[in-house]
Homo-oligomer: A and B are copies of this chain.
Amino acid sequence: MNTEIINIGNELLIGQVINTNSSYMSKILNSNGFSVNRVSVIADDRQAILQSVNDAMQRSEIVLITGGLGPTKDDITKQCLCELFGGTLSENQEVSRHVEKIFTSRNLPYTPTNRSQAFLPTSCKPIFNHVGTAPGMVFEKEGKTVISLPGVPFEMKNMMNDVLELLLERYNPQTIIDKNIVVAGISESFLSDMLEDFEERLDKNKFSLAYLPNGGLITLRLSLHGGEREEGKKETELLLADLKSIIAEFVVGEQDDDLPKIVSKELKKRNATLSLAESCTGGNIAHRITLLSGASEVFKGSVVAYNNRIKNSVLGVEKDILEKHHAVSLPTVIAMAKGSLRLTESDYAVSTSGLAGPNSDGTDVPVGTVCICAMNKEGKHLTFTTRYNTTRENFIDRVSNDALMLLIKLFREEDK
């Protein structure tokens, strides 16, 4: 079932806001058999809106639109949808009561500007917004379905369940099966060489294989399109097993596993806990781990020691080590990991120290240098050092990936 997404908003076109809406919607739609063929980002501009919706309806059965539904003057999506689908903007009493309730529950007055949110094209069927004021709208024309949703990510997400239910009821989408294998420790081109024969044998009319480098890992996605579902499942499983056997030594996870998920699964398997001592990663590793629900089962905490005094006073890194070897050194990260284990009584600790830059710290340690240690409570540890010539953000990201990879290596060493 061909589906397109149109995201309306000047803020997206000038790069002020990253378009997270389209990826969220695509993920849900694709995994339910609604194949997203195109995403168009356009301005809050009448001509662009009319043209894009018309073009999308030529190509696709389903068009999902986000944005331009706010109460302010720059938002014109509702007016444009009236032009396209007929009808006039008039107050929907049910929506109005709903919006009014939201304002009064927050002890705010229901002003005319807020009330304007309840004015909808008479040609649409509204979708209630339970967490905000702008309702969604469903239009139908010539067998095509066009759905308009708010651009605020949280509000759009909250409505996607209703949207999906409506679409599944109206269409009978084709089978799509996506299976991922997550690999690490090998570059894309070497992986591709290893898989040359496998790809040659693949039935291109049914299957496709994609390489997705992502956060220090490569996700291999095997996709099946069309055909009978149960049979397709079996075929996909066989191919997946084949694929896994070819690259077994590099496989670290499956589906949407990323490094924090893989680490968290391993810790649960071992009934073990982790603590961190972060300097240059500044809390990013802790943040990525605590994004996972249930993190508290495996994660004890992190000391973000952005300052040498804290490395010494909280983590107990001896002044002697910091002075003799520098804060960015293997002896320092080893002492930080030890300190973290002692302080938190965790089973594993990972520590990072580096010069993210762009400015030097005045010593002769070059900007971009990083040292990492992963240690278990018996004191067995691995260290890693390198130098990155990159932006601050990318540096923090890479070092966080390296640190989690080093811990996975330590798990593997233990398993030997």
A38 lies within 8 A of chain B by Cβ: yes
User: What is the 8 Å Cβ interface bit string for chain A, positions 26-43, against chain B (1 contact, 0 not)?
Assistant: 111110000011111111
Residues of chain B within 8 A (CB-CB) of A193 are: 111, 113
A37 pairs with B26, CB closer than 8 A:
no
**Which of the 9-residue segments A66-74, A140-148, A408-416 touches chain B?**
A66-74
Known: A73-B199, A210-B74. A15 touches B25 (CB 8 A): yes
A83 lies within 8 A of chain B by Cβ: no
Across the interface, A283 reaches (CB within 8 A) one of B17, B73, B256, B284, namely B284
Known: A111-B189, A306-B300. A210 touches B10 (CB 8 A): yes
User: What is the 8 Å Cβ interface bit string for chain A, positions 211-224, against chain B (1 contact, 0 not)?
Assistant: 11110000101000
B15 pairs with A22, CB closer than 8 A:
yes
B26 pairs with A345, CB closer than 8 A:
no
Residues of chain B within 8 A (CB-CB) of A104 are: none
B282 pairs with A284, CB closer than 8 A:
no
Across the interface, A14 reaches (CB within 8 A) one of B30, B285, B299, namely B30
A285 CA / B306 CA spacing, docked (Å): 13
A127 CA / B302 CA spacing, docked (Å): 43
Known: A290-B282, A359-B294. A188 touches B393 (CB 8 A): no
A12 lies within 8 A of chain B by Cβ: yes
Shortest beta-carbon distance, A277 to chain B, in Å? 10
User: What is the 8 Å Cβ interface bit string for chain A, positions 62-90, against chain B (1 contact, 0 not)?
Assistant: 00000000111110000000000000000
Residues on A close to B: CB < 8 A?
10-20, 22-30, 36-44, 48, 70-74, 108, 111, 113-114, 131, 133, 152, 154, 157, 178, 187-190, 192-193, 199, 208-214, 219, 221, 256, 276, 278, 281-287, 289-291, 293-296, 299-307, 309-310, 313-314, 343-345, 356-359, 390-394, 396
A213 pairs with B306, CB closer than 8 A:
no
Most chain B C-beta atoms within 10 Å of own C-beta, residue among A30, A209, A210: A210
Residues of chain B within 8 A (CB-CB) of A209 are: 73-74
Q: Which residue of chain B has its CB nearest to the CB of A313?
A: B343
Shortest beta-carbon distance, A403 to chain B, in Å? 13
B306 pairs with A304, CB closer than 8 A:
no
A293 pairs with B13, CB closer than 8 A:
no
Q: Which residue of chain B has its CB nearest to the CB of A154?
A: B394
A352 CA / B294 CA spacing, docked (Å): 18
A307 CA / B344 CA spacing, docked (Å): 9
A10 CA / B11 CA spacing, docked (Å): 24
Q: Which residue of chain B has its CB nearest to the CB of A42?
A: B38
Residues of chain B within 8 A (CB-CB) of A213 are: 152
Known: A282-B286, A284-B287. A16 touches B12 (CB 8 A): no
Across the interface, A286 reaches (CB within 8 A) one of B108, B188, B304, namely B304
A188 pairs with B70, CB closer than 8 A:
yes
A300 pairs with B296, CB closer than 8 A:
no
B27 pairs with A23, CB closer than 8 A:
no
